[in-house]
């Protein structure tokens, strides 16, 4: 039986969302081709039990490699471990998140093993042993289907937010834990510490509801209008690139190809025209609501609900209605 290997990315002892998203993609491919999905956990002994238990809820099998140098990401150590495992197990496909981790070591790994690599992929399909990947080009303006040369195995990095998170399985997967004893790898650099993002730890990628403002907000003095709406909804505040470029809101709140990719349950766009760069970062939201005075604004092409109107009239009325509803 063929195997799809998925590298679980973790940080400070917790799995990151992209890990569960990749398992969703892997499970779809495996179901179509009768294959097994293995979650690969690289970690120290301190976090091994917790991370293995988390991963076991979502994969057919879990392979945990314990080594103290795996406590934090180290490019050389990860490359050595993946190279050894791929040579040993010969997986049909190896998935890694298109994150700072995956972008760092996967190209070197592909060159080292002479295995085809597709990066920043949104979806995958395989037919007749040939892998086809969907990638965005020209800043998200074009989605291209790219067919890789036929090979016994492939490497792929998956864009965070491209898939929904995996659903937990009725029975946990089979677990194998190994002590990894490879020689230390010198990569010419050393991990120092994690730095939290500015803004008190606000991470818009984790929000269930986002109220996002665009150029239509007019001026920074109008942003409190959106902030109050976000507070009433229990939402986080986000923005499009023009707002971040003008420093009306900090960069870590920007959504789009040059900002964050988000997929909240509700995305409320206020005065955002919806250029393709912005859509690429939020179009996988479960419910999209757009308020814009331009009926031809591109945001309406992907919105589930749209209001053509002046946000300075619509938002106050919406806030009043919400306050009335919440009082009941």
Q: What tens digit of pLDDT does each residue of 117-144 get?
A: 999 998 999 887 789 999 988 766 788 9
How high is the pLDDT of residue 196? 65
Confidence of residue 187 (pLDDT cuts 50, 70, 90): low
Tens digit of pLDDT for each residue in 18-67?
999 999 999 999 988 889 999 999 999 999 999 999 899 889 999 999 99
Tens digit of pLDDT for each residue in 260-304?
889 899 999 999 999 988 998 898 899 999 999 999 999 999 999
Confidence of residue 197 (pLDDT cuts 50, 70, 90): low
Which is more confidently placed, 319 or 127? 319
Answer yes or no: is pLDDT of 200 > 60.
Answer: no
Task: Give the phi and the psi of residue 4 in degrees, each rounded to 5.
Answer: -110, 125
Q: Is the dihedral of CA 35, 164, 160, 126 positive or negative?
A: positive
CATH topology of domain 3-179: Rossmann fold (3.40.50)
Question: What is the arithmetic mean of pLDDT over 71-93?
Answer: 92
Tokens of 97: 């998140």
Task: Give the N- to C-terminal CA distance of the chain in Å, as an integer.
Answer: 57
Which is more confidently placed, 165 or 223? 223
CB-based contacts of 94, cutoff 8 Å, min separation 6: 4, 5, 6, 7, 82, 86, 153, 154, 155, 156
Question: What is the arithmetic mean of pLDDT over 171-189?
Answer: 80
Q: Is 204-327 the same fold as 3-179?
A: yes
What are the boundaries of each domain within the chain? 3-179, 204-327
How many other C-beta atoms lie within 10 A of the C-beta of residue 281?
26
Closest by CA position to 151, among listed 113, 120, 119: 113
* The residue count for the chain: 328
Q: Which CATH class is domain 204-327?
A: alpha beta
Confidence of residue 313 (pLDDT cuts 50, 70, 90): very high
Q: Is the dihedral of CA 113, 100, 176, 27 positive or negative?
A: negative
- In whole angstroms, what is the distance from residue 246 CA to residue 241 CA? 9
């Amino acid at each position: 039986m063929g195997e799809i290997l998925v590298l679980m990315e973790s940080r400070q002892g917790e799995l990151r969302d992209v890990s569960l998203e990749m398992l969703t993609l892997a499970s779809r491919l495996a179901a179509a081709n009768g294959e097994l999905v293995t979650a690969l956990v690289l970690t120290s002994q301190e976090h091994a039990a917790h991370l293995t238990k988390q991963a076991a809820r979502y994969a057919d099998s879990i392979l945990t490699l314990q080594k103290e140098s795996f406590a934090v990401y180290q490019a050389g150590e990860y490359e050595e471990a993946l190279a050894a495992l791929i040579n040993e197990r010969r997986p049909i496909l190896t998935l890694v998140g298109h994150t700072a981790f995956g972008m760092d070591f996967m190209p070197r790994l592909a060159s080292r093993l002479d295995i085809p690599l597709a990066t920043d992929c949104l979806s995958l399909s395989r037919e007749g042993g040939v892998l086809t990947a969907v990638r965005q080009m020209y800043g998200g303006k074009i989605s291209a289907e790219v067919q890789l040369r036929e090979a016994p195995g492939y490497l792929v990095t998956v864009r965070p937010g491209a898939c929904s998170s995996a659903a937990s399985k009725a029975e946990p997967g089979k677990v194998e834990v190994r002590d990894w004893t490879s020689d230390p790898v010198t990569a010419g650099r050393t991990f120092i510490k994690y730095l939290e993002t500015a803004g008190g730890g606000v991470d818009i990628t984790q929000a269930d509801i986002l109220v996002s403002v665009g150029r239509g907000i007019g001026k920074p003095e109008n942003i409190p209008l959106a902030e109050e709406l976000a507070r009433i909804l229990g939402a986080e505040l986000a923005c499009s690139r023009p707002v971040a470029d003008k420093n009306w809101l900090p960069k870590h709140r920007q959504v789009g190809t040059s900002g964050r990719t988000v997929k909240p349950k509700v995305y409320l766009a206020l005065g955002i025209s919806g250029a393709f760069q912005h859509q690429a970062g939020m179009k996988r939201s479960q419910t999209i609501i757009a308020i814009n005075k331009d009926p031809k604004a591109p945001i309406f092409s992907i919105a589930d609900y749209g209001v053509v109107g002046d946000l300075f009239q619509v938002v106050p009325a919406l806030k009043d209605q919400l306050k009335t509803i919440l009082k009941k």
